[in-house]
Chain A
Amino acid sequence: MLAEVGQFALILAFVISLVQAAVPLVGAHRGDPVLMALGRAAALLQAGFVATAFVCLAASYVACDFSVALVAQHSNTAQPLPYRIAATWGSHEGSMLLWVLILSVYGGAVARFGGTLRESLQARVLGVQGLIGAMFLGFILFTSNPFLRLTPVPLEGTELNPLLQDPGLVSHPPLLYLGYVGFSVAFAFAVAALIEGRVDAAWARWVRPWVLAAWIPLTAGITLGSLWAYYELGWGGWWFWDPVENASLMPWLLGTALLHSALVLERRGALVSWTILLAILTFSLSLIGTFLVRSGILTSVHSFAVDPERGVYILGIIAATTGAALALYAWRAPALKTGALFAPVSREGGVTLNNLVLVVLAATVFFGTFSPVFIEILRGDKISVGPPYYARTFAPLAVPLLLLVVLGPMANWKRDRLDAIFRRVRIPAAIAGAVLLIALIAGGWRTLVAVAGLGLAAWLVAGAAAIPARRWWAGRANLGRSIRTTPTAVFGLALAHAGLGLLTLGVTGVTAWHQDTVLNMQPGQSVAFAGRTVALQSVEMVQGPNYQARQARFEVKGAGGTYSLIGARRAYATSQTTEAAIHVTPLGNLYISVGDEADGGVVVRMWSHPLIMWIWCGGFLMAFGGLVSLSDRRLRLGVAARAPAPVMVPAAAE
């Protein structure tokens, strides 16, 4: 019964989305307020019906209704309740439904809270959102229906992929989707502006918080994904340059560029058509990221839902949205008013440079991810692009960008002088120089890359701290007042840039100093590893709720005292997972993963990961900085209650 209700709600949502795609656009064209109001009603109704469908699917999972094929394929009664709920978006069909749910809720938010927008602009935004919604609801209904029934009804279901049964993965896809889909709002605004043929201050004031609201969960989601891969996959790595990871990194890079260019547009009215182009491309890459990677076009270690048939449909959607938007751009953008002029050395100039590097970085990742597809078509060769490619292309471009990050916020708007900017950063430069010198003396020339990385991290963190500090120094006569009047967005900026510094610190540490070893250990045996003594105390079999585990207990003696660690290899009904034993400290992690039994002992792989936790701290701090920035009152004018605040409190996750 529930499944039929959900199915019916989904069909209604589809029909309403068709109305939403047509009526408000016509209404805006004719200037008809009734038709435009109909668009708002349609957006709210669509959100309601999609939410109904989603709740029906989730309830089917909770009730273990195995007569629904999807439920039978992705959950069973032994699975704990939170994972049964999470299984709602653990499958292709369910994740599509979540995607459309977020899309329609955002659309509803634009309809409900967009009262301060010019009515025709709001109507056009809703129309574009309706078009996207209609395409994806059609995709769900015609190719990936989540409510198909199964006869005969099985007594027990198959399990959700055990790798996905983890708290990190329960929240990872929704966060990523909040980000991906959030960029659809910026996309809809960009297309609406192109249709209108004008970009004004109201447009810019609206777009920036939306971009920020998408960027925050995307940043947190990528960080969480990296953290999950680290502790759950048992390979001891934090980033693998896998297509699925790259797929989230590309919209992040462009979204970061968009965030900065939208700021310039808001404050100075410059970079108009560039911002529109970025908004279109960011959402297009989000679409490519969510779907194309999963369509079987590329092999990936974690594509959980693969089907080439659906890939063709998705490709059609991408061609339609991106193609139409870019064609519209080619037609209408040249006529847009170009904004205020600025000198090359200025805050705007810095953002332009930042944008160029970020776009080239995204292009680098795009090329690395998709070149195997093109090379196979052209030459028939199978190639794979791995970390060496990115080490040679991504890293050399990223380092100059990191140097620039500190200079940008120190520059004045409109025009500035290089010597004046450099004078403003002399304290961060001195701190970074001191760190560089100490590291060089301690480490010597042979660790030059690590030394440079530490200096860069210090430069970023000190430079971030300098942003509010400079303000307060200028107002030191009345320090209390100048602290109180500092806009929250300034703190957000400083936190996000400091997060980048922590990320640099972590990447440097783990890249330069990691160690690993593989050995066969007998119970009772102990080995020396990375300044610690690791003893295998016992190996035993343990029964979990829906798995059996071979559990190994270690005792570690090192500089940080003595502690015990437990690592396990879990056998679920259909597959195995590794639960790594990880000892986390700010200075570095010890990571032990237990393998198969061999010759009376077990295969043990150990890694030492210096400073690695700062990678995730940095990522979460960036997201937190975005959140702080979003809470700025100036941003909330007219855009109340849209921050996705309840989804995350990233503060001090390890």
Chain B
Amino acid sequence: MRRLLFLAPVLLLVPVLAGFGVGLRHDPSILPSQLIGKPLPAFSLPPLSPDRTGLATADLAGEPVLLNVFASWCVACRVEHPTLMRLKDQGVKIAGLDWKDEAADGAGWLGQNGDPYALTGNDRTGRAGIDLGVSGVPETFVIDRRGQVRYRQVGPITPEVWAQTIGPLMAKLRAES
């Protein structure tokens, strides 16, 4: 009995170390979205310039679409931008949400770099971003044809992210009826 008492510390250590070992394989920066499996929150955003279309929740149903949150002041968005342009050329439908940005700045940015978006809305106050639970830019939501959020990507979509996660998911969503 007394022996057991002295044995207790080392026995307790085993599950703790095992937990740490497993925990090290988890990336704590992955934040699952509360919205996964739920419909997009309702928003209706004005266009970036009069000659463009705005962006409303209703526009994002019918076919699988990427909702990409970007801003003209965001450096990582510049990194992501060429990938989005390539995806557009491959026929992927992308909607752009210009977050906490002046409409003119967002329009200027797209004019300069090229516009990968089928639809763009300006979220100047960041209100729609709050409803979406956006933690920073860029961030991308994968929406299925029923208008439900299926995946959330925090940070830029790199060619690897597309090839490994989002691309296969989009293919699967297109196959769904």
Contact = CB atoms under 8 A, between A and B. Distances in A.
Given A318-B17, A329-B6, A295 B24 contact: yes
Given A298-B28, A319-B17, A277 B23 contact: no
B13 to A, nearest CB: 6
Contacts of A322: 13
B10 interface: yes
A374 interface: yes
A315 B13 contact: no
Nearest to A288: B20
B13 A323 contact: yes
A311 interface: yes
A2 to B, nearest CB: 35
Nearest to A322: B13
- Interface footprint category on A: 20 to 34
Contacts of A273: 6
A123 interface: no
Contact of B21 (A281, A298, A315, A382): A315
Contact of A334 (B2, B25, B32): B2
A280 B26 CA distance: 28
Contact of A315 (B6, B24, B28, B32): B24
A376 B23 contact: yes
B29 interface: yes
Interface residues of B, number: 22
Interface string A320-339: 00110011011001100000
A440 to B, nearest CB: 44
B6 A297 contact: no
B176 interface: no
B29 A330 contact: no
A292 B24 CA distance: 9
> Do most interface residues of chain B lie in helix, strand or loop, or is the interface mixed?
helix
B31 interface: yes
A184 B108 CA distance: 60
B9 A315 contact: no
Contact of A330 (B9, B20, B26): B9
B50 interface: no
Nearest to A308: B24
Interface in A294-311: 295-299, 308, 311
A312 interface: yes
B19 interface: yes
A312 B24 CA distance: 7
Interface in A505-529: none
Nearest to B2: A334
Given A326-B13, A329-B9, A330-B10, A299 B19 contact: no
7 contacts: A273-B6, A296-B28, A297-B20, A308-B24, A330-B10, A370-B16, A373-B19
Interface of A: 273, 277, 280-281, 292, 295-299, 308, 311-312, 315, 318-319, 322-323, 326-327, 329-330, 333-334, 370, 373-374, 376-377, 382
Interface of B: 2-3, 6-7, 9-10, 13, 16-17, 19-29, 31-32
A-B pairs with the 8 shortest C-beta distances?
Answer: A326-B10, A373-B23, A299-B28, A330-B7, A326-B9, A311-B24, A297-B23, A330-B6
Given A326-B9, A330-B6, 5 more contacts: A297-B26, A308-B27, A319-B17, A376-B23, A382-B31
